[in-house]
Structure 1
Amino acid sequence: MRIAIEVARLGSFTAASRELRLSAPSVSRIMGELEADFGGPSLQPHDPSTRPD
């Protein structure tokens, strides 16, 4: 859940990956798993950042 919070707070997977010291692909994979668990997208893509749905 911390990853989702950081993505929402920082506005991007890349920024969250830097803050959490994880690779961007790891953050993307984990967010995908969370979305699958909750049955849909948790964040809406918004150029240039991501916003909570």
Structure 2
Amino acid sequence: MATGKKAASDAAKILRDSKSSKKEKEVAASDLSGRRGATTAKPKTKTKSR
């Protein structure tokens, strides 16, 4: 199940907050990893050499 926009936004705020504990940041990062499409990069394509 993907993380919702609100939860992802809250998690990002926790990661940016310098007062957040290490455990809070671990949980927030875990939540963000469940955010579908949030951090996915486009796959690299191979260029054809002639």
- TM-score interval for Structure 1 and Structure 2 normalised by the shorter chain: 0.3 to 0.5
TM-score (normalised: structure 2):
0.38
TM-score (normalised: structure 1):
0.36
Higher helix share: 1
Higher strand share: 1
